[in-house]
Amino acid sequence: MKIGFIGLGNMGGPMAANLAKAGHQVTGFDMAAVQIDGVTMADSAAAAATGAEVVITMLPNGQILRAVAAEVIPSMNKGAALVDCSTVDVDSARAVAAEAEAADLMAVDAPVSGGVGGAAGGTLTFMAGGSDAAFAKAAPLFEIMGQKAVHCGDAGAGQAAKICNNMILGVTMIATCEAFALADKLGLDRQKMFDVVSTSSGYSWSMNAYCPAPGVGPQSPADNAYRPGFAADLMLKDLRLSQQAAESADADTPMGQLAQALYAQFVENENGKGMDFSAMLPRFEKRHRGGA
C-alpha cells in the first residue's frame, strides 16, 4: 500500500518504520529534519499525501491537525483514507472527518495507547472512530503498528474513548499515590499495602501494573527514578482534553476537574514536567494535611 505519514516524532517515527518494514511504500514528512528507516522523505505534507491510499497523521494538538488536514486533503485521491493517530480534542477530530468526507475521502480518528515502547514494538492499542468502510481500510495497518484496534463508533468516538480512559487513569493514579502517602504516615509497610490492595477491592491498573512505589509490584517508572513512561505533562494534556470535552458535552466531571488541577500544579509549579505521571507519590510524601 502507498502510505503518506505526517508527523515522525517519538511516536510517528517508529510507527512509520514498522509500516515500511512490513513492505508498504511509505512517504513521510515532519517539520524537523528526520530520517526514518525505509521511509522516503517529502518536502511538504501535501507532497507526502499525493497519490497515497492512506495518509496517517501523528501530531501534537487539534489546531495543528486542522492545519495539516487543510493542506493534505486537496492532495489526496478520492476514496483514500485520512487516519489521524494524534490525541486531540473531539471537536477537531469531528471537524477534520467532516472536511475529509466532503472531499470524498474516508476518515478515521484513531488515538493510541502504549507509548513510545508500544510504537517501537508494534504493540499499540488503537481506539478508532469513523465509518465501517474507513475502519476496514485502516485495520490492516493497525495490525502492523499495534496489537489491538477497537472500532468505537462514528467520527470522534476514538478520541472520546481515549480521553475517558485517561481521565480514569489520572484520577486512579492520584488516589493510589494518596493512599501510599497515607499508609506511610500510618506506619503501614508499602509491600503489605500492595499485597492487600492488589488483591482486594481497591485494585486498579495504577496499583497492580504500574505501581507508583519503588520496589513494590512489577517493574515500573518508579523503579527508574520516575523517568517516563507516561509523562505527567502528557497526562495533563489528556486531562485538559477530557475537561474541554466535558464542557462541550455539559457533563459533570468533578474528579476529572480536580485531577486536571492537581497535575497542572505538579507540572507547572512543582517541577513535575518531564517526570512520569506516577511521580505524584513523592509529591504527596512531602505534603501535610491542608496542602502545606
For 35-83, the pLDDT digits (tens) are 999 999 999 999 999 999 999 999 999 999 999 999 999 999 999 999 9
> Is 286 part of the annotated catalytic residue set?
no
| Percent residues over pLDDT 90 in the chain | 96
Any domain includes 264: yes
**Residues 25 and 143 grouped into a single domain:** yes
The beta-carbon contacts of 223-227 under 8 Å, at least 24 apart in sequence, are 226/275, 226/276, 226/278, 226/279, 226/282, 227/275, 227/276
What is the mean pLDDT of the segment spanning 165-189? Answer: 97
- Count of the separate structural domains present in the chain: 2
Kindly tell me if the per-residue pLDDT of 292 is higher than 70.
Answer: no
**Residues 113 and 182 grouped into a single domain:** no
3-state secondary structure of 149: strand
Any domain includes 291: no
> Under a CB-based contact definition with an 8 Å cutoff, are residues 137 and 54 in contact?
yes
> Under a CB-based contact definition with an 8 Å cutoff, are residues 176 and 212 in contact?
yes
Alpha-carbon dihedral sign for residues 84, 87, 90, 95: negative
**Residues 211 and 248 grouped into a single domain:** yes
**Residues 135 and 9 grouped into a single domain:** yes
**Residues 149 and 165 grouped into a single domain:** no
Range of the domain at 165: 160-286
Residue with cell 488483591: 199
Q: Nearest-CA neighbor of 273 among 242, 223, 237?
A: 237
Kindly tell me if the per-residue pLDDT of 291 is higher than 80.
Answer: no
**Residues 141 and 10 grouped into a single domain:** yes
> Under a CB-based contact definition with an 8 Å cutoff, are residues 51 and 34 in contact?
no
Q: Catalytic: which of 162, 185, 273, 286?
A: 162
**Residues 85 and 120 grouped into a single domain:** yes
Any domain includes 292: no
